[in-house]
Structure 1
Amino acid sequence: MRKRKSIEERKEEVFLAISQIIAERGLSEVSTVEVAKRLGVSQPAIYKYFKNKDEMIVYFLKHLKKLLDDILKKAEEGKTAKEKLEIIYKEHFKLLERTKILPRVVFSDVVHIGNPEKKSKLRDAVFQYREGIKKIIEEGIKKGEIKEIDPEFGVRIFIGSILSTTLVWMLKDMGYRVVDEIDMLMENLEKTLFK
């Protein structure tokens, strides 16, 4: 006899199905019909967990926030600001390679236009992630590891390097491991931010 999947297991499957759709065709193509098809269930089965497409995308954005929070928690394993930022690069790029979704979600007009709850969930996820990185930079400045810069500028340099690296990776059809860029990024970050 097959064991029934828990609500959390099924929702994780929904997250991964949405990730696949976004990676292949963009956020605007996400629908309960398409998610059900990918999971091999009927569309009404999706309605057991989500009332509609918007609620499904809000769940997706909440789960994305959790994944970004997990990256920040993992970064706390580092002893120095440099180690923590390197962990963030590594974990962020591993998530990107696994799901291929982050840039498409962050820049999707489906999230930014129409439903304020979706925009709010995305903003919460991105701003909390930025604040975590900013805290690491501020601590690095206090400990004398990072140059005396405006921490906000440091965050923009760091996140900008993630975004530009991701853009190049996507434009090259994701034909290489983006995690292989970390050494180059850290080398240049060291010249830019670190003492």
Structure 2
Amino acid sequence: MELTARQKDILKAAIAIIANQGYEKLTTKNLATKIGVTEAALYRHFKNKRELVTMILGYFERISNDVLQEIRDGAYSPLESIRHFVEDRYILFSKYPDLAKVIFSEELFKNDPTFKGQFQCIMHKHKQAVENYILQAQQEGKIRSDLSPTQLFRIIVGSMRFTVTQWNLSDGAFDLKQEGSELIETIMKLIETKP
């Protein structure tokens, strides 16, 4: 489902509220005040708070699917595919730091099976894609074959999550895109086969 411009505005405002005040502060009153509409006007776009969070996760999933499709459509090698996917995440989160806070918020997902399931599905797609790039690179002799693709995925994504969280907690004290690019290059040096 394609979002209208108004729905995108509402989503961005909801993301900002969750990121900066917490999920419990995401109320129709706070959201309506933030975007300058009546509470009744919000209900024309979303049924309730749960649907709004589901739409936020759907929005993130669409962005993720777009980059995965871009990689499929491009002439990227498996190593370039890994770099492109990871660097795209750093670009996305540096552009939308509030989205990073929401996506990496365990509080939001651990107590709601619907949100948890939806987010696990997104993570599984990421895992499948990146592990596939790793396997292809291993088959081409570009990444060490003695390393588990699952463990490499966890190293790559875990270090990304840590870096983004550190950046958010420092109020953007460093250049996330640059730091992320340097980090993925360091990881690649460790896992690539030596000529």
Q: TM-score, normalised by structure 2?
A: 0.87
Q: TM-score, normalised by structure 1?
A: 0.87
Gaps of 5+ in 1: 1-5
The C-alpha deviation readout for 1:144-169, integer Å capped at 9, x for no partner, is 11111211011011101201211221
Residues 1:162 and 1:78: Cα distance change in structure 2 (over 3 Å): farther
Indicate the residue corresponding to 1:92 in structure 2. 89
Count residues in correspondence: 189
Gaps of 5+ in 2: none
Indicate the residue corresponding to 1:82 in structure 2. 79
Residue correspondence of structure 1 range 167-186 to structure 2 within 5 A: 167-186=165-184
How much has 1:61 moved relative to structure 2? 1.1
Which residue among 30, 51, 55 is the counterpart of 2:51?
A: 55
In structure 2, how many angstroms separate the alpha carbons of the residues matched to 1:133 and 1:57?
Answer: 26
Indicate the residue corresponding to 2:36 in structure 1. 40
In structure 2, how many angstroms separate the alpha carbons of the residues matched to 1:60 and 1:181?
Answer: 27
Residue correspondence of structure 1 range 1-195 to structure 2 within 5 A: 8-76=4-72, 77=74, 79-100=76-97, 101-113=99-111, 115-148=112-145, 149-195=147-193
How much has 1:68 moved relative to structure 2? 1.6
The C-alpha deviation readout for 1:100-151, integer Å capped at 9, x for no partner, is 12244333323220x3222211111122122111111111111211111211
Task: Tell me the secondary structure at the aligned position of residue 174 of structure 1.
Answer: coil
How much has 1:96 moved relative to structure 2? 0.7
Task: Tell me the secondary structure at the aligned position of residue 51 of structure 1.
Answer: coil
Q: Amino acid of the residue matched to residue 189 of structure 1?
A: I
How much has 1:16 moved relative to structure 2? 1.2
In structure 1, how many angstroms separate the alpha carbons of the residues matched to 2:35 and 2:9?
Answer: 7
Percent of pairs with identical residues? 21
